[in-house]
Structure 1
Amino acid sequence: METIKPSWRRIGAGLGIAAMSLTGLGFSAAPSQDDGNQNIEVQDASFHWAINEQAGSGTGSEGISNWLVAGEVGDVSYDTQADNPTGWGADTPVWNDSQGATHFAPEAENVSVTRPDSEGTQIPVRWEERNHDIINGGMLNQSAGSSSWNQVNMFAGQGEYNIANDSVSIHWEGAYTMVEDGGRTYKTVHNPRLEVQNGSGYLEADLTGYTAKRNDTTQWLEMEPGTDQRVAWLVDVNVTDDGLQVIPNHTEPAEVFIVKFDQDEIPTSSLLGEVRDGTTGFSWELAEQRNFGEATEKSNGSFSINGQLPSIVVRNGVAGWTITGQAQKFTHNSSDTTTETREFGANTVGWAPRLLAGNPGGVQLGKEIQPGTNENAGLSTPETLATFTEDLENVILGANINIEIPEGVAPGDYTTVLTLTAIAQ
């Protein structure tokens, strides 16, 4: 078989690695405590990476799409023309059910591949659904937004991070494969390594692959392996105790790269809450729904809950725009009738806005809001999360949430809705 030397730089274009979600990377850190300027060991890091729209989109041929596969895929060329139902050529395979059953793997060592269902919950990919647009319905095509949004999840990473100088060094053992045009080209990413120093860095990996020859599609070629290839570039990285969130610095639209040092479960998809307004130029997306868990009893007998606002990704922020938030009252998730109090007000919710990624010079965060007993306190009225003082792309906002539960509230599960609004000043 002929071997060609590919331009691995193209991995950042089209179906190349142009975006990631390192949860969107979830890390479980060792129990060491940060003293403000020391390296913290990471024993079991994980990342979750929705590469980009093209990594799960349809192609120009009906019923043929792009997809991700856990593990390495070797040479899958057809032996005879009769085995190839597409007529592309004896050595140019579009995977049939036999190849799919063999090579379309949702799991491999330290790796899984998932996609969001209609509710945004990540589920294992299935060969039978590879061409289905679960979110929009129908078959995948080349229209904007038509994608399976499949994502890679890698586990068991090891390394360290340092909050004081915004640095991370972590490596994974394992591989995943990006398959294009139903198998006519595929590239395998081996043993990725994340390196960030002083807020800037990259993800690199070793690369292998196979492809049909451009000017003679009957020829099936092995790509020359690439070592230590840069597959993502990261800037404006802010490392915290929770991890980091950033959008890779690529010319193509990129999905969010999220790192959490204390979480290794596969996250809920961010795509269902996404809003992109091409008229105003301002767009944002809500990363996920959030369950804050059980309340903690305080020394005075009252209860409180602390947590994090789901990340808000601002793709293209416009100077003069402000994002505000307002909560509704909490209601009990039951139809039971009782004389006990089964609701309480939004004044019990406070927040401390945070800039998780992006240029801090172009964003003015809102003030910290404390929960209170006055009916107009807390987030019962609209409060500012952030105001854009400059036109900025790829900003990620968040907030620390504090809920103070009033005395006399009956035990149970309670729900509120926090509405975020973008306003032109």
Structure 2
Amino acid sequence: MSPILIQGLQFLLSLSLLIVLHEMGHFIPAKAFKTRVEKFYLFFDIKYSLFKKKIGDTVYGIGWLPLGGYVKIAGMIDESMDTEQMSGPPEPWEFRSKPAWQRLIIMLGGVTVNFLVALVIYILTSWYYGDAYISTDSIKGGYEVTNPVLVDLGIQTGDNLVAIDGQRYENYEDLRRNLITAEEITVARNGQERTVKLPEDFLGQLSTGEDISLFELRIPFVVRSVPDSSHNKAAGLKPGDWLRRVNGAPITYYDQLPGMLDTLKGTAVAVQVERDGQLMDLSLQVDGQGKLGVYGGGGTVKDYVDAGYFNTVIKKYGFLESIPVGSQKFVKQIAGYWLQLKKIFTPSTGAYKGVGGFKAIFDIFPDYWSWQGFWNITAFLSIMLAVLNLLPIPALDGGHVMFLLYEMISGRKPSDKFMEYAQLVGFLLLIALVVFANGNDIYKAFTR
């Protein structure tokens, strides 16, 4: 199956699952409070539906525009902008006739379900899969650093990332995740530590630069493939070969090779590779761009562990143990995402330049099928969906909650006309945000 198709299937399955569960969070309390739900849709059904069936008072369906989903609750001004129904007298089954506390529960139902879904996923995946991660203390030779922003700060390949904002991390993935929102980092070189303050617009510079890598693991050069178009196709290289020497000089890390080949453009070089535990001598041609014409990255994590580049830690949990472990992951993910949003809404950080749309979400999924990876990404997206829906923007759940809280505190209910205008403004704002986010995706696709 095509890698892009695998990504697409995961993307659609994850979003469809989250959309349906989110809308169920509104649907269930609405029905419990005897509020009529006229429509329950996955995706939007502008003009026509791919599927629809009416059961009782509700039409269940699938729209053709995969930008979300919705439930249409009677007596409520929502994204459908159906004001005709609101012109008549309130009916007992309508949303507007229910007490404010019931309306609040209905509006909070979607984000509540999304938070619960993420929490359950983190607990169950901790129990079923456990944790496996690369230990930062075991990493040999420091990290590969190529990003110009970091290089300009005096950080170089071989430096070790010791701490982020004063905190040390055992898990390499935790280190990478928290680096995104860091304000300062501590690096070590030759046993000496120094703290480097990152520029305020670090995320903005990172988002607009061609190189978005940060601190990458240093790994050996292991041949992944030799394309038919390669000028070294007949040289005898095979996938899985480990490059050990070039013109007698040892090659320990992949990142050492480009600089070495840059001085050997247009020449033949003697290389030594390791294949199945045996050393072999080959002759390869370096082209005018300093390339061998082969793809690296053919090793596995186990290969690198066996070769001593780093170690992995594997932890297994019983079901009861997985509850606090999964809950901790859940809380950390929410805190991290809130911090990212804070930076995005702070113009001086430039983080808004990195906001992505559907392509950015699509790219999160790997091009191979992994249920563990799928569920972890789905849990993160569920948190993202919940947090974004809580923003106090009319047309989002948070906007409705904001007006309901005002009503409950002041005792005054906003007029239907006011809610209609507020919904329209919120809808236009959301359209602008969608256009901006997806426009960022398009811009990056053409400029990188």
Fold shared by both chains (TM-score > 0.5): no
In the superposition, the TM-score normalised over structure 2's length comes to 0.21
Give the number of the structure with larger relative contact order, counting CA–CA contacts within 8 Å between residues 6 or more apart.
Answer: 2
TM-score, scaled to structure 1: 0.21
Q: Which has the higher strand share?
A: 1
